[in-house]
Amino acid sequence: MKKIIIVTMGCLWILCLGHASAGQSRIFTDLSGEQFEITKPFKRIISLYAAHSENLFDLGLDKEIIGVTPYEVYPPRALKKPVFSYKDDPEKIISARPDLVLIRPMIAKKYAEFVRNLKDAGISVISIQPVGIDDLYEYWRTLGVLIGREEKAEDMIQSFQKGIRNIRILAHTIPNTKRKRVYFEATHRKMRTFTPTSMQLFVLTMAGGINVSNDAEALQRSNIAAYGKHRVLSLADEIDVYLAQKGKMNRISAELIKNEPGFEHVKAVREDQVFIIEEHLVSRPTLRLAQGAVRIGGFLYPEIFTPEIWQGIVRIMSASGLPQYCQHSEG
């Protein structure tokens, strides 16, 4: 039997993959270091990370997805699926008879006993997640391999590349002297930002923004970086725009930021340039990162990144298979 090797170690994704034919298997090592032999596509999948769920739908699955997380946003079909959580009794998942449970490293680390119970029941539990933008395409390809949709994964990559290429063309029309300097908040409570290689800052720079916190250092090999209030205030006169992601990890509002003691000295606060963006548009490794870039572009350069521009980007991406639900998303 011919074997195609797929190796995922740490943050490095290596996909040694050709066009598989009948009788081929795939040897896959996930981010937990566990090896799997994939002899056929998985058909009964529970996703315990909302980005996995969204990408599975993008790859053309529906009935094969038998469970999702409580944190789904898109597509609308995901909201109609049975809900599961890594905080549940593992028997709830076991009784649903999945052949695959998709998780991410945080779950494997913090809920090891839960994961072990699923594996002991004979369920394949695979931990994958891209850390930064460099891992994104291999992550999509890996999902494609697991579900037998390799060609569709390539369509997704082509679609995304077309979208970001056109967004960058727009951003390149902005003179360097007019580019906005941005502080991008990850969490307000501890004043954390993002690492330069994170998806969030990829989206920001794609939209023509300049990150003012390039000296931020990663926390525990994540895309979150410690910064601190004193360092933010040391940049007070340089921050043209204060941008914060809002979601489960950062329940924030523009008013809370503006009322933070000392922030009255921040240029962006003084000039009412504080904006909030939904976490799922900038932190989840999905096609909608392109939408996040256009949304941020609208904050920074509203005369360039208009709602009509987003609809144009959607049409360009749709030519390569952008899911129908995204075609109705606002910019």
Alpha carbons 109 and 222: distance in angstroms, whole number: 14
pLDDT score recorded for residue 9 = 40
Q: How is residue 285 written in tokens?
A: 């490794």
Q: How is residue 233 written in tokens?
A: 């205030």
SS (H, E, C) the chain: CCEEEEEEECCEEEECCCCCCCCCEEEEECCCCCEEEECCCCCCEEECCHHHHHHHHHCCCCCCEEEECCCCCCCHHHHHCCECCCCCCHHHHHCCCCCEEEECHHHHHHCHHHHHHHHHCCCEEEECCCCCHHHHHHHHHHHHHHHCCHHHHHHHHHHHHHHHHHHHHHHCCCCHHHCCEEEEECECCCCEEECCCCHHHHHHHHCCCEECCCCCEECCCCCEEECCHHHHHHCCCCCCEEEEEEECCECCCHHHHHCCCCHHHCHHHHCCCEEEEEHHHCCCCCCCHHHHHHHHHHHHCCCCCCHHHHHHHHHHHHCCCCCHHHHHCCC
Whether the full predicted model's pTM is greater than 0.85, yes or no, is yes
pLDDT score recorded for residue 210 = 98
Give me the residues paired with residue 68 across strands: 83
Return the closest-CA partner of residue 109 out of 36, 51, 33.
33
pLDDT score recorded for residue 132 = 76
- What percentage of the chain has pLDDT greater than the value 90? 74
- Range list for CATH 3.40.50.1980 in the chain: 3-155, 174-328
pLDDT score recorded for residue 322 = 53
Residues 242, 260 contacting (CB under 8 angstroms) = no
Mean pLDDT in consecutive groups of 10 residues from the start of the chain, 331 residues: 40 40 72 90 98 97 98 95 97 98 96 97 96 88 95 94 94 96 96 93 97 86 88 97 94 96 98 97 95 96 91 79 48 45
Return the closest-CA partner of residue 98 out of 72, 75, 125, 129.
125
Alpha carbons 146 and 281: distance in angstroms, whole number: 25
pLDDT score recorded for residue 321 = 55
Alpha carbons 6 and 12: distance in angstroms, whole number: 11
pLDDT score recorded for residue 125 = 97
Alpha carbons 58 and 324: distance in angstroms, whole number: 9
Rg for the chain, CA atoms, rounded: 21
Q: Does residue 244 come out as left (phi exceeding 0), alpha (psi in the -120 to 50 range) or beta?
A: beta
Residues 255, 274 contacting (CB under 8 angstroms) = no
Tell me if the bond preceding 75 is cis, omega within 30° of 0. Answer: yes
For domain 174-328, the question of CATH label 3.30.365.10 is answered with no
Report pLDDT digits (tens) over 172-196: 999 999 999 999 999 999 999 999 8
State which fold the 3-155 domain adopts.
Rossmann fold (3.40.50)
